[in-house]
Amino acid sequence: MTSGGLLTCGALLGLAAALVGAALPRRKRVLVTAALVIATCVVESVAAIGVLATGHPAQWHSSQLLPMTGATLALTPLGAMFVVLVALVAVPATLYWIGYARHGMSARLTASSYALFVAALLTVPAAASVATFMFLWEIMALTSLALVLTDQSRRAAARSAGVWYGVITHIGAAFILAAFLILAAHSGGQSFAALESHARALAPGARAAVFLLALVGFGSKAGVVPFHVWLPKAHPEAPSPVSALMSGAMVALGVYGIVLFGDVLLGGGPVWWWLIVLALGAVSALFGSLHAANSTDLKRLLAYSTTDNMGLALLALGASGLFVATGHHRLGALSLVAALFILMSHAMFKGALFLAAGSVQVATGRRDLDELGGLLRRMPQTGALFLIGAASICALPPFNGFVGEWLLFQSLLHGVKLGSTPGDIAIPVAVAALALTAGLTIVAFVKAAGVGFLGRPRSPGAEAAIEVPRSMRAGTGLLGAMCVVAGVAPMAILPAAERAVRATLPDVGSTPLAHGVQLQLVGVRAVLAPTVLAASLVVAVLLVAFLRQALTRRRDVRVAEAWGCGRELVTARMQYTATSFAEPVQRVFDDVLRPVRDIDVSHVAESRYVLESMSYRSRVDDRIESALYTPVITTVRRWGQFARRLQPGSVHRYLAYGLVALVITLAVVAVLG
Amino acid sequence: MSTTWRALGEIVVAAVQVIVTGVGGLVLVGLMRKVRARVEGRVGAPILQPLRDVRKLMRKERLRPQFATWIFPLAPVVFVATVSVAAVMAPLVTSRPALGSGADLFVIVYLLLLGSTILALAGLDAGTAFGGMGSSRAVTIGALAEPALLVTILALSISAHSSNFPSIIRATFVDPGVIISPARLFALAALLIVIVAESGRLPVDNPVTHLELTMIHEAMILEYTGPDLALVTLGEAMRLALLLGVFVNLILPWGIASSMSVPALALGVVVLSAKVVAVAVVLGFVEVFLAKVRLFRLPELLAGAFVLALLGVVSGVVAK
Amino acid sequence: MLSGVQRGCAVLRTRDVGHFLIARWTFITVPSPPGSERTRRPRAFLGRRVVWSLLSRECKFHVRGLGRTLCADAGSGLLNPEYDIMTILRYSSIMAHELVGPVMSLASAWRTVRGTRRVTESLPGNPDAAVGPSEIVGSLQLRHVDAGSCNGCELEITSAFGPVYDAERFGARLVASPRHADGLIVTGPVTHNMAGPLRTTLEATPRPRVVIALGDCARDCGVFRGGYGVVGAVSDVIDVDVTIPGCPPDPAAIIGALRGLTQR
């Protein structure tokens, strides 16, 4: 079957899964829907791998499906990369869902929304006309909104998160639509091929407007500062497999959109576009990692770190555009490969982290790190998988995050001293942002893994935790295994990424990477041997452990009370909490974070000098939300209150409005003729 | 036949570098203590005392805190393993180390980071307040030292057009004038401050403090005994030796062996030891006159290192 | 930090005004002229303090001095290639004057070091016969526990590990955690409050371990025998391996006991 045929087959399977999810009774619903969703993912990824292997895009067109415009699907190598990315997260998340469903995710609406969501995620990268793209984008947004609101009847936070998410995602969609419309208006057709060919004739002002609109629209989907405020609200409230999909796959499609507009449709742009992307990426990375380091809610921490990683991807993307705009195509290709690899490894480790966090929430009933602890002993496999995910996101060798950071660092390193002043100024700043982000991510994840999983349980819920069912562990384990494999053998993914990049960027001659056991950059002296590194680490660990065993005289290991300076009672409350762990970082950056401290003091009735009680609350708010969004919301509310006065409920008043409007219209028509 | 000989040679070279780093690191720690003692008018412990300490620790009982997990015994092993792999990779004794093709400065930095991170996790694993405090401070300092470190690597790599460590050394041989270039000097000044921060020496951290509230690194390892403590001590000493070895080979790489013959290797060992001992003596001497900086003044110090590194990058870019 | 102002100079020279303004900007403590009492708590505003710290003497960079020199000649910077020899000499002497500061402090440090003669007394000959486990021969780390002493023995311990007696040269060292120690050195009679912690500390010490009871109070309660807060001597609470009598014991006796354990 051709790739195009496989593509449609996959879409149909996704639709079938949605119908099955709505139709079947509860006992079989989740299992059958999940099986169909997995089948969809497999079929679509086979189609995508076929496209990547041959390099020929897969096409499919139907003029009946969507009214007036028809539906066009064309899977380019770039889109195929993203389809594989989505499938890599969706299959484990669906496996996880099978075990998770009895915790509130087995309703008809939820099951069918989930299936539709996955199907939309898989097909958005294949969309090849404006109508198809917007249609699928809207389906993706609406189904994910329905999934975020799964728990809304029980929690007010879920309702609020749904509102924020819905509004921001639709404003973003409006921006994207505006960008598409400007392009389509000048091309006379709405297929991407037509847009691409006519876009070069566009005036520079219009091109810049299109790019900026697309940047805002897709940036809000990718969770880039300052449009990120929905991320820390929506991702924690969504059910865990949905959070994994949203954080791993959906935000990556935001970056896909920026690549689509910047490199494919508009065919590259002037340097200042990419400097803006670079700046947004650096700010997002720093902001996200700083807030992740200061969050005590486990899922909020993961959501902020998604902003951080998307910032890194944008950093790579901006560098790529910068190099291409200044004429260094091979380096630009390398940066884009780094961006794609960062997105793929992010999907893997963020998926694993969110699924593990979901398991923790199911087992303990809590999400706050200050109430967890000691979980590695009670949930050994989930804990180990969280540790693998944490090591990957901290970019520690030999996992996949490290390879992505190395690629990004090398591309930035070789981009200095190329003769372009903006690049020479931007790149050291980018390297500094990358480094500080890496350090703060380590703080965040040592905190999450150490306070959450190690030590002693800090609450009865944590103490009573037991390991989750096998399907949930299998889903998380699949993603953890992918992290390890991608770190030890990134050569499995990189050739595909290269092919995608060469099909996207113009004038890239040879591949930027040489294949083989090592990663070698062509034309510059940079080599990374991830397999050898991993193997030597394993050998070294085994050797050192063996030597330790061989050279110790005493064989016994005595279990003793932890040393508490001789105190005879050492309780779980004496451990460091997440708040205290991050306190040095908070103090260093308190100029940026401006933590809010509330101190309530109540005095005894008789005297003002005797305290009855005192409470201290400290929290780190999202300053962008309070500085940018709260004023806008307050203003809109105020105008809304004012507008309410126009609707007192009296029919006479409404009739009068109609009369006045009619008179004014007639007068205008009479005057203008 | 020749490939097996070459493989054997590589293993020998790797072993030599690890042993030199290990034993040399412990001797270095003893030497710095001795220098401090002499300057203070004391006799001080013998230079080989740390070796005796490690030998004694291997014979002691192993204790494990009640609520610790498998991370607790694994962390010292991984700590030493990562430093050993970095020692095998770095061009210390020879400019063609085993695994040298992938010997990127970035990789070495991240290997050391892996070791520190898992040790920080082990500090939290003990479930005590001291462990958490040590971990919290150690990762904060690591986070603040990262920008300085990576921008330093950027500055060092600009002139050699590569961050591959043997390539940087070979570029120095080709053009010795690069050593006094402002880029290199600024980068090395920043690197020195970062090395002091990463290996926990004054003015960042006092290695001989007895007050838990002033500890950064020792608070993390307060629960370790016996062979685990021996491994941690060895790992810290190896890290110090490795970082100082990297530092001296970036300043003056001459004397490094470029072939695998025994006399060249022996000369490489001797020259490396002499250079590292010289730097260590100077560091030990300067440490006597320094007091530990307040914890919340450390960001200023590390930001100063960052600015120096940035100046190095700027000079590297501006130079022709 | 503001050494210029701190020197008590009330004359507002240009550089002091500059320092004052920069200090206010960075919100650090500004010592006011004598008579007024206004200080501000320093806050960790990172960015501003970084810039200021680079300009402050504490970083031991004399960029400030150079900056002052350069700023003073803002109209004609040192980088002007059209200078004549006299101007160059003048500027070089100003810069040398700024560099004299750190050079002088290095020189004074060197003088201090050279002037410090060894104060440690040599102690004779061989140590006594071995009394402890064989593992600790050559290397002994001790954790000091004050079970209720008057601190006289602590002063002698401090003296024993100080420059004159220098117990470190015989392989002994004081450590902070009993986990890192080979034994405890206990001073004072054991009081009620310290009996439990003493046992806990011993339990926390890995084997093989020694217990050294230092002083008459540790040996047999000394002058505190029968006191209401005292449980007993150290040997009544935990097993003791080495006893050092004296009230307080001479540091030489302490060293003798330690040498017996380390055999050096």
Query: What string of DSSP letters covers chain C?
Result: --HHHHTT--S--HHHHHHHHHHHHHT---PPPTT----------HHHHHHHHHHSGGGT-THHHHHHHHHHTTTS-TT-TT--HHHHHHHHHHHHHHHHHHHHHHHHHHHHHHH----PPP--S------S-GGGTT-EEEEEEESS--SHHHHHHHHHTSTTT-GGGGTEEE-S-GGG-SEEEEESPEEHHHHHHHHHHHHHSPSS-EEEEEHHHHHH-GGGTT-TTEEE-HHHHS--SEEE-SSSPPHHHHHHHHHHHHT-
Lowest mean pLDDT among A493-497, B195-199, C3-7, C111-115: C3-7
Element (H, E) at A543: helix A530-551
The shares of helix, strand and coil residues in chain A, as percent rounded to the nearest 5, are 70, 5, 20
Residues C246 and C148 in one domain: yes
The whole-angstrom separation of Cα A361 and Cα A461 is 10
Residues ≥6 apart with Cβ < 8 Å to B64: A557, A558, A559, A560, B72, B73
CATH number, domain of C209, equals: 3.40.50.12280
pLDDT at res. C58: 39
Check CB contact under 8 Å for C203 and A591: no
Nearest CB to B218; choose among C119, C171, C176: C176
Region label for B63, one of left (φ > 0), alpha (ψ between -120 and 50) or beta (otherwise): beta
Check CB contact under 8 Å for B300 and C50: yes
- SS3 for A563? coil
Strands of the sheet containing C172-174, edge to edge, are C172-174, C140-146, C183-187, C210-214, C242-244
pLDDT at res. A8: 84
Min Cα distance C243 → chain B (Å) is 23
- A567-617 residue pLDDT tens: 767 788 889 999 999 999 999 998 889 888 899 999 998 888 898 999 998
Q: What is the DSSP letter of A247?
A: I
Residues C69 and C159 in one domain: no
The whole-angstrom separation of Cα B297 and Cα B307 is 16
The whole-angstrom separation of Cα B295 and Cα A586 is 13
What average pLDDT does chain B have?
A: 91
Q: Which domain holds residue C148?
A: 135-262
Cα separations in angstroms, A462 against A48, A472, C78: 43, 18, 67
Question: Which residue has 């979901």 as its token pair?
Answer: A358
Is some CB atom of chain A closer than 8 A to the CB atom of B59? Answer: yes
The whole-angstrom separation of Cα A366 and Cα A362 is 8
Check CB contact under 8 Å for A455 and B127: yes
Amino acid type, A508: V
Residues C143 and C235 in one domain: yes
The tally of domains found in chain B comes to: 1
Number of B to C CB contacts under 8 A, please give it: 106
Kindly report the pTM of this predicted structure: 0.89
Q: Is the pLDDT of residue C91 over 80?
A: no
Q: Residues A196, A264: contact at Cβ < 8 Å?
A: yes
Is some CB atom of chain A closer than 8 A to the CB atom of C203? Answer: yes
The whole-angstrom separation of Cα C32 and Cα C111 is 36
Amino acid type, A158: A
Amino acid type, B37: A
Query: Strands C172-174 and C183-187: what pairing?
Result: unpaired
Token pair for C153 = 């023995």
The whole-angstrom separation of Cα B132 and Cα B121 is 9
Check CB contact under 8 Å for C203 and A561: yes
Min Cα distance A337 → chain B (Å) is 19
Residues ≥6 apart with Cβ < 8 Å to A222: A251, A252, A254, A255, A257, A258, A310, A313, A314
**Residue of A381, A411, A417, A590 for testing the chain B interface, max B β-carbons within 10 Å:** A417
Q: Is the pLDDT of residue C147 over 70?
A: yes
Q: Which of C103, C118, C149 is the last residue of a domain?
A: C103
Percent of chain B with pLDDT over 70: 99
Check CB contact under 8 Å for B37 and C59: no
Q: Is the pLDDT of residue C92 over 90?
A: no
Q: Report residue C245: phi and psi, to 5°.
A: -80, 165
Q: What is the DSSP letter of A253?
A: H
Residues C148 and C244 in one domain: yes
Check CB contact under 8 Å for A591 and C196: no
- C31-83 residue pLDDT tens: 444 444 444 444 444 445 555 555 544 334 444 544 454 444 433 434 444 55
Is some CB atom of chain A closer than 8 A to the CB atom of C37? Answer: no
Lowest mean pLDDT among A113-122, B175-184, B224-233: B175-184
- Is position C200 within any domain? yes
Which ipTM was obtained for this model? 0.95
What is the number of H-type helices and E-type strands within chain B? Answer: 11, 1
Residues in C closer than 8 angstroms to A568, CB to CB, are: 196-197, 200
Is some CB atom of chain B closer than 8 A to the CB atom of A517? Answer: no
Percent of chain C with pLDDT over 70: 60
Token pair for A184 = 């389509």
The tally of domains found in chain C comes to: 2
Residues in A closer than 8 angstroms to C46, CB to CB, are: 588-589, 591
Residues ≥6 apart with Cβ < 8 Å to A70: A61, A62, A63, A64, A129, A131
Tell me whether the omega of the peptide bond preceding residue C248 falls within 30 degrees of 0, making it cis. Answer: yes
- Is position C111 within any domain? no
Lowest mean pLDDT among A440-449, B20-29, C82-91: C82-91
Q: Report residues of chain A scoring pLDDT below 50.
A: none
- B98-141 residue pLDDT tens: 887 788 899 999 999 999 999 999 999 988 889 999 999 999 99
Q: Which of C52, C86, C103 is the last residue of a domain?
A: C103
pLDDT at res. C87: 64
Residues C91 and C148 in one domain: no
pLDDT at res. C95: 62
Chain C residue whose CA is closest to A592: C45
Token pair for A407 = 């690629």
Token pair for A533 = 């590194």
* Mean pLDDT, residues C194-198: 93
Question: Which residue has 């779980």 as its token pair?
Answer: A572
Residues C192 and C74 in one domain: no
Q: Which domain holds residue B46?
A: 2-318
Residues in C closer than 8 angstroms to B303, CB to CB, are: 46, 50, 53
- Is position C125 within any domain? no
- Is position C129 within any domain? no
- SS3 for B159? helix
Residues in A closer than 8 angstroms to B154, CB to CB, are: 412-413, 416, 428, 431
* Mean pLDDT, residues B186-203: 92
Helix ranges restricted to H, A55-155: 77-100, 108-123, 130-148
Chain C residue whose CA is closest to A570: C200
The whole-angstrom separation of Cα A180 and Cα A131 is 10
pLDDT at res. A540: 95
Residues C90 and C185 in one domain: no
Tell me whether the omega of the peptide bond preceding residue C189 falls within 30 degrees of 0, making it cis. Answer: no
In degrees to the nearest 10, what's the CA dihedral of C106, B203, B271, B149? Answer: -120
Region label for C126, one of left (φ > 0), alpha (ψ between -120 and 50) or beta (otherwise): beta
Q: Report residue B59: phi and psi, to 5°.
A: -100, 5
